[in-house]
Amino acid sequence: MQKSMEKIVALCKRRGIIFPSSEIYGGFANSYSYGPLGSEIKKNITDLWWKRFVRDRQDMVGIDGPILLHPKTWQASGHLDNFNDQLVDCKQCKTRFRADHLVESALDIDCEGLSDADVGKLIAENEIKCPQCGAQDWTAVRKFNLMFSTEMAKTGEESTAYLRPETAQAIFLDYKNVTDSTRVKLPFGIGQIGKAFRNEITPGNFIFRVIEFEQMEIEYFIRPDGWEKLFDEWFTAMKQWCADIGLSAKHLHDYEHPKEKLSHYSKRTIDIEYDFPFGKKELYGLAYRTDFDLSQHEKFSNQKLRWRDEGEEPFVPHVLEPTFGVDRTVLAILCEGYTEETLEDGSERTVLKLASAMAPVKVAIFPLMKKDALPEKAQEILKSLQPLGLIQYDDGGAIGKRYRRHDEIGTPVCVTVDYDSLKDDTVTIRDRDTMEQERIQISELKTVLEEKYFA
């Protein structure tokens, strides 16, 4: 089955997973709201990540740093100088493009490392036309810094602040406070989940590339010797995470950045790519950032950011950085789960085959009718299952229709309360993927569901 982004986007809107933002004002380009179910999916991701990588590990602590950091941060990190894309505008229709992307898609030439003038020359010499209006009337290619800036109330040299383009820098700025206030020992990591902002020239593909997004990042501080082994361990942990959130290995690919294309701070980077319907694209990354960031912050802040153990010269720790985008995680699990099936009777169903841990609604409870003692019995069962997560009561329409509704949002199991339930305290459970039904005792329901779906 060819998965289509149009259908996934439509499902998200229809079922309250993700909406285009600011719709009552005609929309606001490339920004989205997570609706009642989407925010549950996001929370499932961030909660599981925090538990797995922060709470359950003795070598990790967490922080929650600010979005606006001291402006010198971005001088030190290199973002003010290097966090640029090459921009070109069509003078006729005023559409703005990534100049390197224009060349790459028209000529299949990699523009990495080419100057603005060289990219401009390629556009002119090869008579590349505007994909929007067909004109061939371009501005000069120029650099565009991707950081959003804002003016602070105070005046002076540092009155311009930047919305952080990555959560990582807030961690480096807190390195000293964390090591001074906790009992961490090398190697150890600091994890953080939070928003990042990038003024992307050509965002797109739904929530794949947006201007405001969320990252889950770890800076793992190490001694430089033996970084290779820890790098491999983190890569394995990231792959295990992918499997546990339901991404199949056949849709995942490793992309080792060639040496000449590494970011200014990295000695080794591997991306984990996912087969999205619009192509194989970066989902997560793992980088060995050496001691670049802490050394730069030492230089710009005049503070020592060293590790000191007894009998050892103090040194600037090196860093491994596993980075995970929350929005790309949501998109990948939606793409992975989206399935259309033709049933034996010829009817069609759309089903989101999400891992139970990711499903927004864990169990749906259906009273067969809205009368007699069925609603009360169903509400009683709902309360008893609440420790499993979001349980939804649904009494709208025929049972078959309710199944379809919950198939579309990925509810792993539905429980029907009927007249026999009132007599013998049993219910029917129906599995989302196999559609098989089973009659079980209400007294055993929670344990059965826990073992089968939420272990």
Contact status: 296 vs ligand GAP (CB under 6 A): no
Q: Give the x/- contact pattern for ligand GAP in 51-90, rule: CB under 6 A.
A: ----------------------------------------
**Phi-psi group of 108: left, alpha or beta (phi > 0 → left; psi -120 to 50 → alpha; rest → beta):** left
Of the candidate residues 200, 298, 341, 408, the single one contacting ligand GAP (CB under 6 A): 200
Choose between 167 and 411: whose C-beta lies nearer to ligand GAP.
167
Residue 107 phi, psi (nearest 5): -120, -5
Report the C-alpha gap between 386 and 348 in whole angstroms.
31
Contact status: 213 vs ligand GAP (CB under 6 A): yes
To ligand GAP, the closest distance from the beta carbon of 82 in angstroms equals 12
Contact status: 192 vs ligand GAP (CB under 6 A): no
Cβ-proximal residue to ligand GAP, closest one: 325
The per-type count for the chain, helices as H runs and strands as E runs, is 15, 21
Report the C-alpha gap between 388 and 390 in whole angstroms.
7
Number of residues in contact with ligand GAP, rule: CB under 6 A?
18
For helices 374-385 and 442-453, what crossing angle results, to 10°?
40
Report the C-alpha gap between 23 and 346 in whole angstroms.
37
To ligand GAP, the closest distance from the beta carbon of 222 in angstroms equals 17
Contact between 382 and 411 under an 8 Å Cβ cutoff? The reply is no
Q: Give the x/- contact pattern for ligand GAP in 137-166, rule: CB under 6 A.
A: -----------------------------x
Contact status: 325 vs ligand GAP (CB under 6 A): yes
Choose between 161 and 210: whose C-beta lies nearer to ligand GAP.
210
The DSSP secondary structure of 284-314, one letter per residue, reads EEEEEEETHHHHHHHHHH-----B--TTS--
Select from 358, 331, 340 the least CA-distant residue to 206: 331
Report the relative pairing of strands 413-417 and 363-367 from DSSP bridges: parallel
Residues β-bridged to residue 321: 287
Q: Give the x/- contact pattern for ligand GAP in 214-243, rule: CB under 6 A.
A: -x-x--------------------------
Choose between 30 and 416: whose C-beta lies nearer to ligand GAP.
30
Of the candidate residues 104, 116, 282, 395, the single one contacting ligand GAP (CB under 6 A): 282
Give the footprint of ligand GAP on this chain (CB under 6 A): 166, 168, 198, 200, 209-210, 213, 215, 217, 282-285, 321, 323, 325, 327-328
